[in-house]
């Protein structure tokens, strides 16, 4: 990762100081510190969920102690935007942070990142990220989601000398515990955690600290000479008190410096120019949210024969897919194709009375990963945080052989919900927790008990670089990142996974591919054992696996995983109930007779009455059985020199529809429950995409005519996705057709 010049937000507490130390550990440079303080010097604490201000009288010394400039601003605003996710609100206290950091950026143009000490507060993290996003800065939050007991020990071990300046919890007495060092209080804090469940780092407001010395203070340490205890509440159970500094001085760490209080104060005055008081108001000007981009509107016109759409028919959660065909027209490039597609999807959403804020997940397929940056630039012009106040969609980005399949350079599928009940996890800060999502795409989206996780690479979160060690090491790291995200929703990939889609790059050596599934299985088993070691016995789902071979992945990764998890609203496990067919007509046979080998083609994960996920693999061996009267034995040896005829492909398409139909009906689902249906095929199938699409579309129309189970509504309900290979194993991705179906009861 590129090393950055960082301005650190400091409250004076232990967390913001340790966050600075972590920045340096990962190779970044602290070039300035920034602090927000009350407008009135005599006020110790503001009524704010955002800022810690107790001990602000001493922060002025940080510039001298660290030898970097300190930028300070007196807080003019108050809490006006009360929702968790922040949107720019005039007069809000967050706007003071914007003005402060904007001035830092003007004075030090080389600054590219902001450090903060957020550990568990989404409220604070989201506001810092919002300001950083507006200023084009990267948020660094290296303490985010870290174990608080370990963090506290690390801070003490790394010689952060911080004292308590506020206490407000059961077991903490202002008269006894204010002004005490965290190293002294650590055993007692763990005792209180065991007794009352307090946060040992004070993340629940149990206490606040002020750092008087740490390795970052290279020039001097702060010596607190006198203070006053101010009691805010004399509650007998949890009294609240703060420490008000009365007198302090700096003790030089330089051996050749003069000592003594007066001479130390002279040294501060000589360097007073390194402290900047930031005044002014917010004059930020930006395009109003939702204002259309003129270039986008210019691209609405597109030949209907080039544009193709598909849409599933589920009323409340459905997929819309858009791609371009017939590339013989004037080339528009990837950005041009993507603009056309995103605008058409936008029009489809508007036609349903919906917008981007209703999108849960986006599959972004592009023809060339070298143009990922350009694709992203176009993407963020359509999908913005302003347009998605309830959270931006999760996303996976994959390179596919689109050109070889006769498609355009971009292909987009969106999963849409007609309500706004989704819960989005979007962490833009770089941290040690999981890879950041800097931009309008989130780590995961939970909607109606289904957790849709963004595609996860084998990235080292604090450095955002791919881990060394090849595909198996990347897979393990990607799984760890997935588990970190799952924990935020109180679940685990080892127990709650319905489906794992594993994208494998062709750059993986052939001898490594068989190890991928084994490593995934081993990792999941180890996680399950860890749950048992903790005394929990979670209900475990039996997930299904789909491996897809692709030309390339973001960052030249070898592996990307996309888990889908079941997160029940209650901890009760759904009862296993017998499937009664109610009013659903028995599945048509399309002329196929039941056979034992049919089950070998199907993987399924069914949660009765709720979810049905199916992967159907048509290998060359299966194709021979389906078309036994018209295929020769070469196909059983994967010899594709003898290509499929259109009539053989028609037979295979009918078999796929027959077996999918049989599976969903036997499990008491219907086609109207379908959220998505992807049909993966290799370009070397040598059946034109248009022909393949017509064969499946005609098959569904026949099904509809026979049993009324599928209403195509003028658009196909399936997406044809060209891939280099697909299968149930990374070692064998030679399927002729692979079907991935996901259905959910309303």
Phi, psi of 525 (to 5 degrees): -65, -40
Neighbour tally for 476: CB within 10 Å: 18
Phi, psi of 482 (to 5 degrees): -65, -40
Q: How far apart are CA 618 and CA 629, in angstroms?
A: 17
Q: Quick one: tokens of 728?
A: 């149930």
- Whether the CB-CB separation of 495 and 513 falls below 8 Å is answered with no
Q: Hey, is 441 helix, strand or coil?
A: coil
* Dihedral over alpha carbons 277, 278, 281, 287 (to 10 degrees): -170
Q: What are the residue ranges in the chain where pLDDT is below 50?
A: 256-273, 285-300, 302, 305, 573-586, 640-641, 712-713
469's CB contacts (< 8 A; 6+ apart) are: none
Which helix or strand (DSSP H or E) is residue 38 part of?
none
Q: What is each CA distance from 405 to 186, 362, 717, in whole angstroms?
A: 63, 21, 20
Which helix or strand (DSSP H or E) is residue 44 part of?
none
Position of tokens 């259309």?
292
Length of the chain: 746
Neighbour tally for 580: CB within 10 Å: 7
Which helix or strand (DSSP H or E) is residue 368 part of?
none
Over the stretch 395-408, which tens digit does the pLDDT of each residue have? 999 999 999 999 99
166's CB contacts (< 8 A; 6+ apart) are: 45, 54, 178, 207, 208, 240, 241, 242, 243
Angle at 695 between CA 694 and CA 697, to 5 degrees: 60
pLDDT at res. 155 = 98
Domains of the chain and CATH, by start:
5-254+271-277 (3.40.50.620), 303-420 (3.30.1330.40), 423-569 (3.30.1330.40), 596-630+643-745 (3.30.1330.40)
pLDDT at res. 308 = 84
Helices (H), 276-371: 294-297, 333-351
Residue 67, phi-psi category: left (phi > 0), alpha (psi -120 to 50), beta (remainder): left
Q: How far apart are CA 692 and CA 681, in angstroms?
A: 9
Q: What is each CA distance from 139 to 13, 48, 125, 428, in whole angstroms?
A: 18, 21, 9, 7
The pairing of beta strand 674-681 with beta strand 737-744? antiparallel
């Amino acid at each position: 990762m590129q090393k950055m010049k960082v301005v650190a937000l400091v409250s004076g507490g232990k967390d913001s100081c340790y966050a600075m130390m972590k920045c340096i550990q990962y190779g970044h440079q602290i070039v300035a510190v920034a602090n927000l303080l009350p407008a009135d010097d005599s006020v110790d604490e503001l009524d704010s969920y955002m800022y810690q201000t107790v001990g602000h009288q001493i922060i002025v010394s940080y510039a001298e102690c660290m030898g970097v400039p300190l930028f300070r601003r007196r807080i003019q605003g108050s809490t006006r935007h009360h929702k968790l996710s922040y949107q720019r609100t005039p007069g809000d206290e967050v706007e003071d942070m914007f003005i402060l950091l904007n001035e830092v950026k003007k004075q030090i143009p080389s600054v590219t990142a902001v450090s903060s000490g957020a550990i568990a507060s989404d409220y604070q993290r989201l506001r810092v990220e919002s300001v950083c996003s507006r200023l084009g800065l990267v948020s660094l939050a290296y303490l985010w989601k870290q174990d608080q007991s370990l963090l506290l020990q690390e801070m003490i071990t790394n010689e952060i000398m911080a004292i308590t300046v506020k206490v407000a919890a059961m077991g903490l007495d202002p008269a006894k515990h204010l002004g005490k060092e965290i190293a002294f209080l650590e055993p007692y804090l763990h005792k209180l955690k065991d007794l009352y469940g307090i946060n040992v780092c004070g993340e629940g407001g149990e206490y606040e600290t002020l750092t008087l010395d740490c390795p970052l203070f290279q020039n001097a340490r702060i010596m607190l000479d006198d203070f006053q205890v101010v009691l805010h509440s004399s509650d007998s159970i949890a009294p609240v008190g703060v420490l008000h500094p009365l007198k302090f001085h700096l003790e030089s760490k330089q051996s050749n410096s003069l000592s003594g209080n007066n001479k130390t104060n002279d040294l501060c005055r000589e360097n007073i120019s390194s402290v900047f008081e930031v005044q002014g108001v917010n004059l930020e000007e930006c395009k109003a949210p939702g204002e259309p981009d003129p270039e986008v509107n210019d691209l609405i016109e597109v030949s209907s024969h080039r544009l193709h759409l598909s849409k599933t028919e589920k009323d409340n959660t459905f997929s819309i897919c858009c791609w371009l065909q017939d590339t013989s027209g004037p080339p528009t490039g990837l950005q041009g194709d993507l603009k056309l597609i995103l605008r058409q999807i936008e029009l489809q959403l508007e036609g349903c009375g919906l917008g981007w804020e209703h999108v849960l997940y986006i599959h972004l397929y592009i023809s060339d990963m070298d143009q990922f940056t350009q694709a992203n630039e176009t993407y963020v012009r359509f999908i913005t945080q302003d347009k998605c106040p309830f959270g931006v969609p999760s996303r996976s980005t994959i390179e596919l052989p689109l050109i070889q399949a006769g498609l355009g350079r971009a292909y987009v599928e969106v999963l849409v919900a007609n309500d706004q009940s989704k819960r989005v996890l979007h962490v833009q800060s770089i941290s040690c927790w999981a890879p950041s999502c800097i931009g309008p795409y989130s780590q995961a989206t939970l909607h109606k008990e289904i957790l849709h996780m963004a595609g996860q690479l084998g990235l080292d979160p604090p450095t955002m670089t791919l881990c060394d060690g090849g595909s198996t090491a990347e897979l393990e790291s990607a799984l760890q990142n997935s588990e970190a995200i799952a924990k935020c929703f109180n679940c685990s990939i080892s127990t709650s996974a319905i489906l794992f889609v594993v994208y494998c790059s062709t750059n993986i050596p052939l001898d490594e591919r068989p190890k991928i599934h084994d490593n995934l299985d081993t990792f999941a088993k180890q996680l399950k054992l860890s749950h048992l070691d903790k005394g929990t016995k979670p209900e475990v789902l039996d997930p299904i696996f789909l491996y897809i071979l692709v030309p390339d992945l973001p960052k030249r990764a070898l592996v990307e995983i996309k888990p889908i998890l079941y997160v029940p609203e209650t901890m009760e496990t759904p009862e296993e109930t017998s499937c009664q067919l109610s009013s659903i007509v028995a599945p048509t046979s399309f002329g196929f007779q039941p056979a034992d080998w049919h089950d070998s083609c199907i993987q399924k994960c069914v949660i009765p009455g709720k979810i049905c996920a199916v992967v159907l693999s048509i290998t060359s061996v299966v194709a021979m059985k389906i078309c036994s009267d018209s295929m020769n034995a070469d196909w059983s040896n994967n010899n594709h020199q003898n290509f499929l005829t259109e009539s053989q492909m028609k037979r295979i398409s009918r078999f796929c529809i027959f077996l999918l139909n049989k599976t969903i009906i036997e499990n008491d689902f219907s086609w109207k429950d379908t959220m998505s249906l992807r049909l993966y095929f290799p370009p070397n199938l040598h059946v034109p995409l248009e022909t393949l699409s017509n064969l499946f579309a005609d098959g569904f129309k026949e099904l509809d005519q026979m049993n009324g189970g599928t209403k195509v509504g003028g658009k196909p309900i399936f997406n044809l996705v060209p891939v280099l290979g697909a299968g149930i194993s990374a070692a064998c991705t030679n399927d002729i057709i692979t079907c991935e179906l996901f259905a959910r009861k309303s």
